[in-house]
Amino acid sequence: MILHEFISYDVLRVIWWLLLGVLLIAFAMTDGFDMGVGALLPFVGKTDIERRVAINTIGPVWEGNQVWFILGGGAIFAAWPPLYAASFSGFYLAMFLVLAALILRPVAFKYRSKRDSTAWRASWDWALFIGSSVPALLFGVAVGNVLLGVPFELTPDLFTLYHGSFLGKLFGLLRPFALLAGAVSLMMLVTHGAAWLSFKAEGVVASRARAIGSVTGVVTIVGFVLAGVWLMFGIEGYELVNSPEANGPSNPLLTEVARTSSWLDSYAERPWAMAGPVLGLLGMLMTVIGLRAGREGSTLLWSKLGIFGAISSVGLLMFPFFLPSSISPNSSLTVWDSSSSHLTLFVMLFATVIFLPLILGYTAWVYKVLWGKVTETDVTDGHSY
């Protein structure tokens, strides 16, 4: 028997579906508080020293946190190439805006303190705000569009065709439900950033973060519930009509897909999947309570649980779909028909088993070294951002 055949193709596909979820959730849990702090910067810091305190809570770790974003993109490219091709083709301009914002953020980190000018530093502070808020918003908009269905179809040779003009691909994403999903994403990460500042900062910066986060947390809960009601009564879902060959070739056109009354119909088949939204709501509710009570470490952990629940609820709700097509349901991409080869998935899993623990170990060591709060004294010693 060939080595990679010790793990069947269908099991490898599910493993990589889970790993992709792990990478995306890890990115939201880590770089999510970086984006949250950046979005909060103009509101928690009224003076230069206060803003530097906020910036220095994330300054030493933001680059490492973005590793999860790179790993997630790499996993999509290598494990799910049809998904990578179809999603990046349709979301091209939105992805360009996200990348531009993510490029703007490190430039702002590096250049902000190069000149002792109030106008100069204020400009880069707003660059940090934009570079943090835009990705947080657009990631949610993308998720909302995936739930709505994306207007693409596959030709017989599996070439992806999108309908609409070049700019229409961007403005077509700004549908009401997608904007709601974007707002929930932004508010969720702002709340996560507030929990981080409560944990890492002192004084007025931490108190302002707690006050703002307790409000954005409530907004997140309300928006999350509203999105669920909207999904139940206003948005059609997708289901597989025929049972695809789990060990078969990656050809979405071999699968028949039909529309259903609601995505939430899947809970009837998989009631355990309701754990996702329950954990999301519980985590965010406890985050709000923790922020108002002035708790620190436990509040950050509850915030991470809320993010885990919110993101996993989408994956569990949609399984096995990745990218549904709104104009040609049979072109929809699923776990069973959009992966790389059996051998490729096995080799990638082998490499992941080796390198992922190293990344986790190094990350844990970095956070241990940087443990402790950032004070105003720390940012005036000449070794800060």
Q: Is 382 helix (H, G, I), strand (E, B) or coil?
A: coil
List the one residue out of 370, 375, 214 whose CA is nearest residue 303.
214
Q: Is 322 helix (H, G, I), strand (E, B) or coil?
A: strand
List the one residue out of 51, 201, 195 whose CA is nearest residue 127.
51
List the one residue out of 27, 45, 353, 326 whose CA is nearest residue 212.
45
d(CA 236, CA 103): 37
Angle between helices 9-44 and 176-200 (to 10 degrees): 70
Interval 138-196: pLDDT, tens: 999 999 999 999 988 888 888 888 876 666 677 888 899 999 999 999 999 999 999 99
Interval 299-332: pLDDT, tens: 999 999 999 999 999 999 999 999 999 898 999 9
Interval 78-136: pLDDT, tens: 999 999 988 888 888 888 899 999 999 989 988 888 888 888 989 999 999 999 999 99
Average model confidence (pLDDT) across the chain = 90
- Tell me whether strands 257-260 and 321-323 are parallel, antiparallel or unpaired: unpaired
pLDDT at 366: 87
d(CA 184, CA 199): 23
- 8 A C-beta contact, residue 189 and residue 28: yes
